[in-house]
Structure 1
Amino acid sequence: MSSAPAPTRHHAPGVRASLALLVIACILPVAVVTAFLIVHFYQRERAQLIDHTISRARAIIAATDRDIASTQLALQMLSTSTMLLKQDLRGFHQRATGLVDQLGADSIVLLDTDGTLLLSTRRPYGAPLARLGRAPLLQRILASGRPGVSDMFIGPLNGRPIFSVGVPVRRAGATVMTLNAIFTPQRLQHVLSEQKLPANWRASVLDTEGRVATRSRELDTYAGRQVSAALRQQLASASESGLATRSLDGQDVYLVYSRSTRTGWSAVLGIPSEELTASLYRTLAWLVSVTLAALGAGLALAWLLGGRIADSVQALVAPARAVGAGASLAIPPLHFREANELGHALRDAALSVRQARADMRESEQRLALAANAAHLGIWTRELSDSRIWCSEQWRALFGFAPEQQLSLADLLAKVHPDDRAAVRDTLNHTQHGAPRYDMEYRLLLAGGEQRWIGSHGSIEHDAQGRPLRVRGVSLDITQRKQAELEVQQKQKEVTHLARVAMLGELSGALAHELNQPLTAILSNAQAARRFLARPAPDLAEVAEILDDIVDEDKRAGDIIERLRRLFGKQDMPRQPVDAGALVDGVIRLVRNDLIHHGLTVRTELGEQALTLSADPVQLQQVLINLLMNACDAQAAPQLSDGVIVLRCARDGDAVLFSVIDHGPGIVQETLPRIFDPFFTTKTRGMGLGLSICRSIAGAHHGTLWAHNNPDGGASFHLRLPLAEAAP
């Protein structure tokens, strides 16, 4: 539904024409009267204004010197930091970062004597940095040993005009580097604003080359720009003076300046040329009585025109409010053409608002349908007062009533006790500005039902960069998590089957391993019977025989316990494992099988004790599998020297196990596939051994790989991280 066009008054004057009449009526009488007097007062008032302006320029350059001096003092104190003396650049970077805001600097940098950037607070510690070369400020500090300030230059890290305040860093009386605070032109703007200069004046601070270090107007446009050659020549000729010129933005000004004897920088103030005369008019107070009559006529006309303008504006207030409500507008005839045009614009805006609201409602409905179809719950949390809004689908996922008022405590009460602390920590991090988060956790619903939830949120910030609210979605991932658990269970069963298959391969050796202590027990028992059958048995000898029987029985028990752990279905929890003891235990398990194959294992263990955090049973399975594969590779005596090398050594922050055989090696075409499931070169192999071994290595955050040796045979390497030292 559209509003009827507002009627328009014919020949309505424009606002600009009415205001032009107002200006003429107010200014022209005053200009005519004061024209006769301006010549007499001009020279005196102009001289006074220039003298006063030079005093302001002195104050500005003095304030600039104080800022630079205070910065140099702060940098000198920072340069004596013990972290810098100890070359703890990481700690010094953190401390310098904390001082950047206090100094009002863009960044703090540490510069080597050859111009190399050692650190910059604009980059994380260790990030690549540019090389400045022999910068002028660096040269001056190295030559004089005193603090200094650079001219304006383009920063290598931010690509913007900057200047640098630097101090030497000394060791043993020599300058070994410089500590510099980098400032943007905005840093010095306060020395201009403190003078409370008129808004239309131009004020700048120039470096020794005449480049703009800061400016009161359009700083982003003119920062680092060099003034005209004529002005630079004038600046070089005298420490204080004035001249008529044109500013960088094309404004005709009378310019005065004062140069610092300390830094060589200059404070420059430009008075608009018209202000030199306008300020004089304002000083002629006695002319007020003369101009009152003329102003009265002008004000009368202004009153008439202003009233009409006010009436037109007031007539548009109600229609403007109706635009916000999306209602139809009724705009009466107005005095001015522009007001009538504004009325038509308001009418069009009302139509646009109604259409936008209709489109927004349709978009919200589509979003709700899409969320319901995907079973997504949408939520919003206000960080200022912890208010929570959520969709109906979200309430259904979490088991909340449609109208129930929600709080963060209500949400955490639904979370499974084992996941509650992690969820609380994640939500708390959002209040400290974390940009987004993704987490998975369980809900404990009524009746003991557990439901897995995937939650994804992002943070919104206000204009000052502070966290404002969190928006996100939640969805039910119970089926996926159950599928993952089933896959993990199947992996455990396959791993157990591989160990059982290994038991079949080792059965002969294990029978021999158990036969030795059992034969010794039988022999010692028979001997004890014979001793006891004597008329005067030697009880001490019988006691020794019984001790031997006990030792052999323990030995058999140890063998059975190792086999039970190795071939049990349940994996052991992670625990500290000594790498050398692990190797010794594996050698004992496969010793008789090695003897049966006519092979020996040469162990190469380092002197340093190495500890892993691992499942010892799973690591035994990996090493046994690798050793049995090495036995199969050296089954033909003519192909090897009968020696398998098992090496254990430290590799950085990890332990490296190596099993090296001297067999025919691995066919090059099959080498990339030997860790694939169900791939085997054995006639009765399952093709799961090496695949399971690599999975066990990955579960321990390690790696397993193989390669052929240059002198024949193959090597398998298992690299596992060392256990972290206890705090």
Structure 2
Amino acid sequence: MPPRPDPVLWSRTSLRQVLWALVFALTLPAVLIAGAGFYSGYRAEREATDLRLQETARALSLSIDRAIEKSEMALRVLALSPHIANGDFAAFHKQTLEAGLAGPSSIALIEPSGKVLLNTRVPYGSPLPDGRREGAVLKVQETRRVQLSDLQTDPINGQVLITMDMPVVIGDRVAYILSAAIDPAGFQRLISDQRIAPGWNAAVLDRSGRIVARSRSPERFIGELANPVIRDAAATFSEGNVRSETLDGVPARAYFSKSPTYNWTFVVSVPSAELTASFQRSMFWLLILAGCILMGVALAAMLSRLIAKPVDQLVAAAQALGTGREVDGTTTHVLEFDTIQKALADAATDIREQERHREEALARIAESEARLRLALNAGHLGSWEFTPSTGAFVASPQCRANFGRGPDEPLSYNDVLAAIHPDDRARQTEAVAQALKNRSDLHVEYRVIWPDHSERWIRISGRARIGPDGGLSLVGVSQDITEQRLADERRGLLLHELNHRVKNTLATVQSIAAMTRRAAEQGDEGAWDAFLGRVQGLAKTHDLLTDTQWQGAMLEDVLKNELEPYQDAMRQRIRLRGPKINLQPSAVLALGLAIHELATNATKYGSLTAPEGRVSVLWAVTSSLNAPMLILEWVESGGPPVQQPKRQGFGTRLIQRGLAQQLGGEIKLDFQPEGIRCVVTFPIKNVMVEAEEMSENVERYAS
């Protein structure tokens, strides 16, 4: 049994075969595309010609209708002449001649019996024979419509003409018939005006297919029947084109269109030789292209031999490179092949260079991974990867630390689930399932219980990943966010407290507004200005609290905030003395309003109205039998004499409501002639932030 050929060797193809296949692969599509292009151009030109000639036939068929309609309109106008109704036929004869219709055409007035009353062809009164068109006259009487005849020959003078008969209705009967004899010369002029090409033929056919006018040899063919092919096509279709032969015996393609009103047909015949000329031109250029392609194939055969030899030399160089032998540097006389040969000679050097670059790239990758680990550690982020199909869970040391494990302690996915707070496990399981199902990102926060039973908050972020083996896994990071959660809780508490304090402030403003309204209703003209001043004072107090983040304010700062505008350059007019006391926010607001009222009253009526007036504010913390108390004393001096007020003013009520009701304090106002003295007493626990910090000063300042 003979040995089977090697399939690898059997499937090999030589370079010459590839080159020949390439030549045919390039030339065959070119031939097909060129042939299709030439044929497409021929078809496009043919379709454009068909469309143009068909439109020409359609336009001229409409011109036939218009030419006949002119004669019909002239007859309709004459049929309405009063001379006919009056029997004045001589006047009607004159009117008809003046209408300009005598020309090659003529008009006759006929009685229904067939008697001809007048004819514009002869003078009025000339003896006329009776009409011999009884059938046409009878049809006009029956239909009372205009009747147009086909081309016919006059039996009297042998003239070829077309007749149009119009009924003249007087009353309810057809009294006369107007008959117009239309000479075909008008249709002949219609064709002549179109300037039909010399080799073409145009003709007008009546309903029976008889030639009425013709562009070529009209004297020979008028009155003859057209080609049967054209007559059959015109009888079946309103327009189109057919292959036929002219009456001259010339093969042609006839384009016809039937007029919509009178059903006469206009035909344009183009010799077939002219229509095939474009196809012959396309074939001529196609043959030229085929000759060029054959020349290209011959040239390709020569070039294939020139290419095969240096390729063989190049193959030998490649084999030498593969076996480690020296590569022959003999030129191939082809620039590109010489370049390849040089590239083969440099291949070994390039391989060694690539190995060096590969080692450098691996070193850069390792450095990049180190930077990534450093960034993760700096952000306290631990990396992890979970493969659901195998249950494998890989975690970095920081990720283990986030779950309370040491850097070398094992941490499996089951350990992670066991460490999650029981109330949060369902949420974590649902989030992982959705991320795996939808191939979406994973974002979940939950509590974990460390081995020491402490509770921590962990944020998990991950993304679904398809591995090289097609396996699905989740890759992400973990972060301990316990401090952030605690900060969020503190922020929530602060917002709640701020909301409470804002409501208290609004309640204070509302109370001030209500009291101001009552004062205005009682005739106080300065109530509105006082209200604005109180609101501005309250705003200043809010600014003071904002600077301390609503943690309170020093009593001295509260007093300076209200009284600093009235201080002199030597700082002797306003005297403040007392220990450092940190007031609660509610005490700051209430005391600020009270000091504002006292300062406003002093500037209007008290000591601050005079240049030598003074205000002294002293405060101290004193002990009592029950609890420490804060005593604040306001003393005015150097002002005008003070009189006891007859009624309690708005400011007094505001002080008593703000200090006594809100802070549980006691207010004593003494209107002495030398100046107002106001003493306010508060329980320390109601006004100070931390009362125990002031225990050292309880006995230091006593009034």
Q: TM bucket by the smaller chain?
A: 0.3 to 0.5
Q: Does 1 or 2 have the higher relative contact order (CA < 8 Å, sep 6+)?
A: 1
Report the TM-score when normalising by structure 2.
0.33
Structure number with greater Rg is 2
